[in-house]
Each structure stands twice: as C-alpha cells, then as structure tokens.
Amino acid sequence: MEAIRVGLPTTPEEAFSLKHQLLARPDILREDPALLAQLGLRLDAANVVDFGPLALSRVNAAHQRESGERQRLERVARANFGAQTQTHAAVIDVLASRDLTDLARRVDKLARLRFGLAAGVVALEGPEAAPPGWRPLAQGQVDLVLGPGEGALIGHAPTALGLFGERAREIGSVALVRLSPWTPAKSGVIGFGAGDPGAFSADMGADLLIFLAAVVERTAERWPPG
C-alpha cells in the first residue's frame, strides 16, 4: 500500500493527493489520539471525527468578535441617530431667533443643554464691531484658526480657545465651522467646545455641524450685521 508522504503540500495537486490518501487510510487519523489532539479533533462514540475543544474555542472566539463588532456598530448607529435628532431640534431653536444677539444666545444654550457641551459661540471678523453676543475677531483670524480655506476643524486646537472667552480653561476639544454670512460675505465661525479632550477628534465627520452652521448663517442674514 502506498505510504503517506511526509511534509506539507505546496501545490493544489499535492493537497488533492494528500486528501485522497487520507480518505483511503482514515485509520491514520482515527488511531492516532495525539495527532487528533494537536489538530483539535476528537472521535465521538460513533467513531466519527468531531470538533474538539480547540476548534470549538476558535469558533467561539470568532463568534465573540462578530458579536462585539455588531454591538459596536449598533452603538454607533444609535449615537448617530441621537445626534441627528438633537441637530434637527437645534435647527428649530435657531430658526426661532429674534435677532442676532438672541441667535448667539441660542447657539450657546443648545450647545450646553442639547449636546451636553461646555459652550457654543458665533464669531465674526472685521473692523466693524461684532453684533452683541458675538465674539469679535481680527481680520484673517478665521484662516489662522481653521487653516487657509479650510471649512471645519474638529479636535484639539489651542489657537481656538480664545473664541470661548472666560470659558477657555474649560475647553478640552472643539468643533469649528466657517461662516460666510451676508453680501458681501463676512468671515466668521461657529464653535462648540467640550470639556472632555476626547469629545471631538479629527476622525469625526462634520456633516451635521456643517448643516447646523448653514442654518445659523442663513438665519443671521435676516438682520444686518451692524
């Protein structure tokens, strides 16, 4: 009888040959408990090769990984849904503004009460005085904070802390979006600050923030800037 060759198959043809050799000599596996144990297999009462503890543990580990990933995705989906719901409610708050001062007050209020953040601000740069409640910025300061031409900044930004005035020491991370209200356009920014340094990070998407910033921008245009 042909002997089983020693060594791992290196080609599909060798693997096919080895498979058929084992089918022809199943006793090689059945009569070698040590080999079965190394392979994570065992024989059941009907003399049929069954999965052993090692194989089962691998299956269980894979299942746990899948379950953990599914739970993570579910948590992310719930968080995204919650953020969308709060953003839509915030839009209604913004649209109810009575003037530019009230708009700035509402941005701060929704940041603290709806999103659980430390502060929310709107700021405007230029030689003219910013509307009451808005933070005044020097010409070119928006580009200095966000980066030239950048539309948003999310994460840790020490140069943005001045936007939050007396609350600057409370701010660990920020989410900023450029504003360009009125015609001719003026440069400004809407900013949200969190006490937690990890609340905002650079890998987060800015879609909802950009949407909310656009609503604030259009709402501000109901009234003249000065």
pLDDT tens per residue across span 167-205: 999 999 999 999 999 999 999 999 999 999 999 999 888
Residue 60 lies in a domain: no
Q: 3-class DSSP state for residue 112?
A: helix
Residues 23 and 129 in one domain: no
Closest CA to 107 of 20, 191, 35: 191
Q: Do 143 and 184 belong together in one domain? A: yes
Do 147 and 94 belong together in one domain? yes
Phi, psi of 70 (to 5 degrees): -65, -40
- The answer to whether residue 104 is domain-embedded is yes
Q: Is residue 79 part of a domain?
A: no
**pTM, two decimal places:** 0.66
Residue 125 Cα to chain centre, angstroms: 31
What pLDDT band is residue 87 in, cutting at 50, 70 and 90? confident
pLDDT in tens, 6-51: 455 567 676 667 667 766 776 666 666 676 666 666 555 444 444 4
* Average pLDDT estimate for 48-63: 58
Does 69 have pLDDT greater than 60? yes
pLDDT of 115-167, one tens digit each? 899 999 999 998 787 999 999 999 999 999 999 999 999 999 999 999 999 99
Same domain, 92 and 170: yes
Q: Does residue 56 sit within a domain?
A: no
Shared domain for 43 and 110, answered yes or no, is no
Residue pair 130/124 in contact by the 8 Å Cβ criterion = yes
Query: Is residue 36 a part of any domain in this protein?
Result: yes
Q: Establish if 57 belongs to a structural domain.
A: no
Beta carbons of 179 and 189 less than 8 angstroms apart: yes
Q: Is residue 208 very low, low, confident or very high in pLDDT (cuts 50, 70, 90)?
A: confident
State the CATH number of the domain containing residue 176.
3.30.450.40
C-beta separation of 172 from 180 below 8 A: no
Number of domains the chain is built from: 2
Residue bearing the bigger pLDDT, 56 or 163: 163
Are the CB atoms for 189 and 146 separated by under 8 Å? Answer: yes
Q: How many CA atoms lie within 13 A of 75 on its CB side?
A: 6
Same domain, 205 and 95: yes
Same domain membership, residue 93 and residue 189: yes
171: in domain: yes
> CA torsion angle for 137, 138, 144, 147 (degrees, to 10)?
60
pLDDT of residue 79: 55
| Statement to judge: residues 42 and 92 lie in one domain | no
Starting at the edge strand that comes first in sequence, how are the strands of the sheet with 188-194 ordered?
135-137, 119-125, 188-194, 173-179, 152-155
Which band of pLDDT confidence, cut at 50, 70 and 90, is reported for residue 102?
Answer: very high
Its domain, for residue 170, covers: 84-220
Peptide bond into 26 cis (omega under 30): no
Report which of residues 69 and 179 the model is more confident about.
Answer: 179
HEC sequence for 47-59: CCEEECHHHHHHH
CA–CA gap between residue 171 and residue 195 (Å, rounded): 5
Look at residue 48 in the predicted model and tell me its pLDDT: 45
In-domain check, residue 5: no
Is the same domain home to 100 and 188? yes
